[in-house]
Amino acid sequence: MRFLGLLLACAALLQAAAAWPQNLRSIYHSEVLERGYGKALFSPKVVIVSMFSPEAEVWYDIPEFDVLAINISVPGLSMLYPDVHCTADGEICQLTTGESEINAATTISSLVASPYFNFSQTYFMIAGIAGVNPEVATLGSVTFAKYAVQVALQYEFDAREMPTNFTTGYVPLGATTPGQYPTSIYGTEVFEVNEVLRDLAVAFANTADLNDSAAAVAYRANYAPALSYLAGTKEPSVVPCDVATSDVYYSGALLSEAFENTTTLLTNGSGIYCTTAQEDNASLEAFLRAAMHKRVDFSRIIVMRTTSDFDRPYPGEAASENLFWADQGGFEPAIQNIYLAGIKVVEGIIEGWEETFSKGITPTNYIGDIFGTLGGTPDFGPYSSSDSLSRRDTEAKIPMRRRVRRDVSVTMKPLLR
């Protein structure tokens, strides 16, 4: 009877599929799927995570890489981007979260909970554009992060009302002045991903010929007078450096340097403030919660951001000009370089699957959140001490939103020069 039921379900599914235009080639959420299958339909090797349409569309309409061959509607995904797109063999998939932290967290949470997929061996590559710190990289560069830092999770004063002895209007939660380690910990402040996998991704991406533009070349030249911005004057390259997450799309030297200080503080001096984005900590929190229940492997996450605009103006330029009106010329190269570098990473994983990637890449660094949720002791945050605290111990001794004491010695950049 079970065999007969499966045959009937399959027949119904084929009949339903035939009723749709062939160019859609979609599998939609239906009772047929739920009744007919007792296990996941797809076990992708790589999932590409885009945040909005231009980042997603660069993966479409590529004859040798037809990621639109199968389209699966997943409940809980963005109303604007309701489908997961996959190649015909189901090995490579792509989805779009929608922009900002709320959209990213909701989409990834819905994705990893979907019964249509088995993600236990899947590599996830966050692949989007970002702002860039000209002290570290330039327009059109491809960056791979080890740390993602939620820099705007702080108290905030309007700069016109902040105390006269403050260097910024941002103060860590639970602290009373800038530069103090936060004493109110939420858990999403910092995530660390697999550095060995990150370095492999860097090596794959380094084989790509990156795109650039004449407008980007011209705009970069404006940063040459400032010696600290030397990296910003160079041509695009692949750079291992870290990403700051904030829903606020900010611009200007003072805010950028304040959040650079936050990155330094929260990573105990080891993070490299490089790119600015709106989603990564939110996506990583959703992945981490899924990893707690073995839905995903947190050691198989790559965070790639290509750089579309500088996070601060060049000397003599207004911050508003840099943000609103300047033709920086970085957007198109950044979008194109998502694919040009990203496809090298995807191909590297697929081609090396049997020999290397199927069994996973063992991290040599700590991976996870500030609580040590997945095991091990974080090398950042108030719990990075010689006394290893398990998540249960942490919650028992230091509940969230309660005060903790942490003395951190890091070098903070002056905000006013």
Domain ranges of the chain: 25-397
The per-residue pLDDT string of the chain (417 residues; one tens digit each, 9 = 90 and over) reads: 444 344 444 444 444 444 333 333 444 443 334 433 446 789 999 999 999 999 999 999 888 789 999 999 999 999 999 999 999 999 999 999 999 999 999 999 999 999 999 999 999 999 999 999 999 999 999 999 999 999 999 999 998 999 999 999 999 999 999 999 999 999 999 999 999 999 999 999 999 999 999 999 999 999 999 999 999 999 999 999 999 999 999 999 999 999 999 999 999 999 999 999 999 999 999 999 999 999 999 999 999 999 999 999 999 999 999 999 999 999 999 999 999 999 999 999 999 999 999 999 999 999 999 999 999 999 998 765 433 334 434 443 333 333 343 444 444 554 433
Burial letters 48-66, b for 16+ CB under 10 A, else e: bbbbbebbbebbeeeeebb
CA 82/CA 110 separation, integer angstroms: 11
Q: Are 288 and 374 in contact (CB under 8 A)?
A: yes
Residue among 69, 146, 118 nearest 290 (CA): 118
CA 289/CA 150 separation, integer angstroms: 17
Q: At which residue do the structure tokens 């960056």 appear?
A: 143
For the stretch 163-172, pLDDT in tens is: 999 999 999 9
Q: Which fold has domain 25-397?
A: Rossmann fold (3.40.50)
> What's the pTM?
0.85
For the stretch 108-120, pLDDT in tens is: 999 999 999 999 9
φ, ψ at 128 (rounded to 5°): -140, 180
Furthest C-alpha separation in the chain = 78
